[in-house]
Amino acid sequence: MQGKTLILQAGSRGMRLGKLLLSLDAERKIKSWQHQIIPMPESVPNHPDLEAWYSEYNEKVKAAYLEKVALRKAQSEGKSPFTGADACAQCHTQEHAVWSKTKHAAAFKVLEEVKKSFDPDCLGCHTVGFNIEGGFVDSVFSGHLLNVQCESCHGAAREHAESGGHKPVANKSWSNERICEQCHNKAHSPGFKYTDYWPKIVHGSLNRDRT
């Protein structure tokens, strides 16, 4: 409420529905209100009038992405600060085994299924280090950085790996909840509750909140 005005903001990406319940007084003024965000069910098809527009939009986004990929490949120099999950698995075997069975390990496939594997708004949370020097560029050039991996949450780990674990990962001082909220924020994951989500990915010695 802003003064006596109720202001509503629509969700993004066409992935959710908004339900608004208003309670009116005798003068038909808003007495109270409640809102609920509902995931769009698979049974709701795309509107045929928007199919052509959406396809055209995706093609433009893809063209812009490929242009940026070419530029980043040309500019890429030196050693990446990211190693990929396979390097982490050499020491963190148990954690890697748990991760490989979670939805995080197949996050890029989800983008491919909905034809958004080239959308910068999505790649930041479905790959490692996108838009960061040495991070994900494309599935061919940097296929080892596909999906939500160890370094998506814990930060770049090349120095950690090459030092035999003596140097900390980039996000060592972060709490588990803060790490999750890099991607599970209000815009991308409005229904996120840390206490509900964390048990789905809890892994080995990392089952703790860091302070």
Give this prediction's pTM: 0.70
Give 187's pLDDT tier (boundaries 50, 70, 90). Answer: confident
Q: Measuring CA to CA, which residue among 169, 144, 36 is closest to residue 92?
A: 169
User: What mean pLDDT do residues 46-70 have?
Assistant: 87
Contact 180, 194 (CB under 8 A): yes
Closest to 132 in 3D by CA, of 34, 47, 123, 51: 123
- Rounded Cα distance between 86 and 40, Å, is 35
Report, in angstroms and rounded to the nearest whole number, the Rg of the chain calculated over CA atoms. 21
Mean pLDDT estimate for the chain:
87
